[in-house]
Amino acid sequence: MTPDASDLSIPSLRDELHNYMAQLPGIKRDGMTIMFEKDEYKRRALLGRALRLNEALDGWHQRLQQIAEPIKMVRSQEMQAVDCSYWTDLPTSYRFANPAIGPLWSEYHASKIVLNNLLSRTGNEHLDVKPKNAWHAEEICKATHDSYMSIPGLFGPYHFATALRIAYLFAGTPETKRWVQGLSSAMAKAMEVMRFPTI
């Protein structure tokens, strides 16, 4: 697919993803209600909604990958030495030909974390989603570092606010948490909302 064709498809992919994300609060709210009601019929209905949304998100991500497979970048020790101090905690990042893809990549993985938690509670309470969530959190971090600096204007950091907070909450290692805190502090120089005052 040519770069021009990819650029043209990004707005429609963004709109589709945001439509999926808009369903998450309602599903999560219903999930909390069902936990108290213990209604098996409602639980199965909610599980079906969550599974359909999960399938739709995965299909969406496959289409995104067709036009925006990330370029993996590994920083050398010399480059780490002159970069921000938080960088050493996560030495690999992604760079996309179009920086607008970075927020979409991050938002997808943040949505998967939310859905994983819901599915484990409504479908299989014994399912350990921590490893999956830790992987999704790292994907958010990898997509953020170069992308947020490439988005023009002061609102570049804002595109990653929600995803980074979710990554922090479900990070698998202390290193990833430190990385998110460090990057958020760097972003806060341009936009104060990115600062994590309580974590």
In a domain, 199, yes or no: no
- pLDDT score for 81: 44
- pLDDT score for 184: 78
For 115-129, what is the mean pLDDT? 79
In a domain, 80, yes or no: yes
For 112-119, what is the mean pLDDT? 91
State how far the alpha carbon of 102 is from the alpha carbons of 65, 123, 137, 150, 189, in Å: 12, 31, 14, 9, 20
Q: Is 41 exposed, middle or buried (0-12, 13-18, 19+ CB in 10 A)?
A: exposed
For 63-84, what is the mean pLDDT? 64
Residue 148 neighbours by CB distance under 10 Å: 25
Q: Is 147 exposed, middle or buried (0-12, 13-18, 19+ CB in 10 A)?
A: buried
- pLDDT score for 143: 86
- Domain count within the chain: 1
- pLDDT score for 79: 44
- pLDDT score for 56: 97
The closest alpha carbon to 147, from 97, 199, 191, 77, belongs to 97
Residue ranges making up the domain that contains 152: 3-194
pLDDT band at 193 (very low <50, low <70, confident <90, very high): low
In a domain, 55, yes or no: yes
Phi, psi dihedral angles at 196 (to 5 degrees): -100, 95
pLDDT(197) > 60 = no
The closest alpha carbon to 43, from 104, 107, 126, 120, belongs to 120
pLDDT band at 18 (very low <50, low <70, confident <90, very high): very high
The closest alpha carbon to 96, from 60, 67, 70, 66, belongs to 70
In a domain, 82, yes or no: yes
